[in-house]
Structures are given as structure tokens and as C-alpha cells.
Amino acid sequence: MTAPLRAAVFGASGAIGAALLERLQRDPRYGDVTALSRRGEGHLHFDLADEASIAAAAAALAEGGPLDLVFVATGVLQEPGKPGPEKALRALDPSALAHQFAVNAIGPALIAKHLFPLLPRDRRAVFAALSARVGSIGDNALGGWHGYRAAKAALNMLLRNAALELKRSHPLAVVAALHPGTVDSALSRPFQRGLRPGQLTTPELAADRLLAVLDGLTPDDSGFLYDYTGTRLPF
């Protein structure tokens, strides 16, 4: 009889993170699903800008044994009270750029740093993080949104590097960057005007799609960016 799987969802208080948490908790394959967020009630707490908090969360998770799935469902597009994504270079602000990289690239990479040691070596394990199609350099034909695009591109590269490193010790593991589509959430709400009919997705449908994509990936697929249909996107 196969032992129940363990999962951890970072960013479980967000729209997609909460939907992922709910779906995994209902999945009979999983016997232990831990929610982690910055402020969520009943969640294990961490802060993307505080590596010590990530290390402490990893230590707490380690007490339960290896993790079969780590999903990083964090991200920021626009800081509350700050101007929206930059449409031109003249709008670049160093502090805003630094914040984009801290939340969208450095934070998830630090989670990988501290959570990779908790992945089992003798069976399939998955580390996934939300990225974005706009972080694809090869797919960029519009420009703009400089900080968000650059930070997500950096995340994609960090995950690619991490996947290559992890493969040496965990040959059955999968690392994936995932584009969820345009999901109805606080992140996308200021930018939903003008969307095509059907383009906006519920968090629940997005969670179902992303988990289905992960179920279909093999170790040979590790280290790449995928959209919610399972299509590999260019870096």
C-alpha cells in the first residue's frame, strides 16, 4: 500500500494558493497538506523578504518527513498605493524594481534553497512555482511591465539552474515554473478591463489545471516554464 503523500503550499492565503490548498486537501493521495503564508490564520508563517523565516518554516516542515510536493504560489504585480507596472523606461524606479525581484524571484529561490533538502531522493517529487508568460523573453513582443517581466524571467532562470542542480541528487524530481493564465485575483483585478470573453479564469479552475499539468510532467520535463495547458513556453 502506497504511503500518503505530503505537500506544502507557500502563499496559501492568496487566490490561487487557497484554491490549490483546497484541491490538495481533497485529493485522496495526500495525507498531509501544510498551508504557509505571511498572515493566514492557522497557517505556518513565513516572509519572502526574511530568509530566517523561510528556514524556520522548512525546519518545522522537516519534522513531518519528506515532502512530495512543494508549490510556491506567491507573487506581486503592483504594490498597494504604488504606480502600476511600468509602460516605459522613464517610469523605472529602483525601489520598485528591487521589490519585484525580492518577491517574484529571490523569495521563491530561497524557498527552493531551504526546501530542496526535504524532497525524497528515492521517488518522484515536485517543486513548482507560479511564474508568468510575460516573463518569457522569447514570447515578448509587446515590451513594457519592465520590473514584473524581468523578475519573472529571473525566476525562470533560477528554477532552471535549480532543476539542473537537483537532478544530480534527486533524479526523479521535477522542478517547474507555471503560467496560470489570467486568474480572477487581487493581482489581476486592476488589469481585467478589456479581457476577451472567457480569458478570465477562476482560481479553482486554475488550480485544477496547474495540478493536472504537474501530474503529467516527468523528470525529463524538469526545469522549464509551462502554461496551464501543459505547453512548454520559451524562456
Q: Tell me: the pLDDT tens digits for 28-44?
A: 999 999 999 998 899 99
Reply yes or no on domain 5-233 having CATH 3.10.129.10.
Answer: no
* pLDDT value, residue 128: 98
Strand, coil or helix: what is 136? coil
CB 213 within 8 A of CB 178: yes
Distances in Å between the Cα of 140 and the Cα atoms of 87, 133, 144, 193, 223 are: 14, 9, 9, 21, 20
159 vs 222: CA distance, rounded Å: 9
Give pLDDT tens digits for 165-201.
Answer: 999 999 999 999 999 999 998 777 777 676 777 789 9
Contact 130, 73 (CB under 8 A): yes
The helix or strand, by DSSP H or E, that contains position 209, with its residue range, turns out to be helix 203-216
